[in-house]
Amino acid sequence: MKRISFSLIIGLLAAVNVISTFFTENISSKILFLEVNIWFYRFFWSVIAISLIFKHFEKSRNTPN
């Protein structure tokens, strides 16, 4: 059985966070106590989600079964 890594869990949570912003009517949101445009917020969390999910699959591909 393959192990689910911490990076995959955080990456999926970040992806859910990005998706959930499309169902709210926010114009801005906060990143580290700074008010930012919603599109920058989505971009920030999308980069985190993609990089962490990619890291998980790259690591699992290089690990022998």
Q: What is the predicted pLDDT for the residue at 4?
A: 77
Q: What is the predicted pLDDT for the residue at 1?
A: 43
Contact of 11 with 35, CB cutoff 8 Å: no
Q: What is the predicted pLDDT for the residue at 59?
A: 85
The domain segmentation of the chain, as residue ranges, is 6-62
Q: What is the predicted pLDDT for the residue at 45?
A: 94
Q: What is the predicted pLDDT for the residue at 2?
A: 66
Q: How far apart are CA 45 and CA 20, in angstroms?
A: 11
The tens-digit pLDDT sequence of the chain (65 residues) is 467 788 989 999 999 999 999 998 888 888 889 999 999 999 999 999 999 999 988 888 887 76
